[in-house]
Amino acid sequence: MDLTTEAEMLRKVPMFAKLELSKLKLLAFTSELCTYDDGEVLFEAGDAPDSAYVIMKGAVDILADTETGSVVEVVLGSNELFGELGVLTSSPRSATVRAQDGLVALRISDEMFLKLLAENPEVALDVMRQLSEKLVRSHEQFVELQKRLQQLEQPRT
């Protein structure tokens, strides 16, 4: 695939849609378009964060470790960003990510991702929005789990 084709694919990703073609080509050139088999693990909880990913096609399972094993916490699909939190905070990966549905993802190195945010406020704003949405979803899940726990702890009469 040539750079122009990759740049046009990137233009379909909402957070990159407003970038100039030259910036999209640079992003395509400095990033790696990766294909993963179904069930293949991209990274595991505890790994060092070296990149962020944008799903171009397919999906990923975000897995949470529990006492009874890994469970799918959330599924992300086309045009969604993941792995950015570790890059932004320089903290180990908080979850394991597994490919599904013929995943094709753009792997953006941590240095390039941070440079992209620093030089493009509209991209940085979109990343903040996505992080905020993830935070809201996590909070909603937490509240729901608290309610379920309270129901389980109530004495039965």
pLDDT per residue over 24-55, tens digit each?
Answer: 999 989 999 999 999 999 999 999 999 999 99
H-type alpha helices, the chain:
3-11, 21-30, 84-89, 110-119, 121-153
The domains of the chain are located at: 3-153
CA distance 43 to 94: 10
- DSSP character at residue 78: T
pTM, two decimal places? 0.81
CATH fold of the domain at 3-153: Jelly Rolls (2.60.120)
Note the pLDDT tens digit of each residue in 73-131.
Answer: 889 999 888 999 999 999 999 999 999 999 999 999 999 999 999 999 988 898 898 88
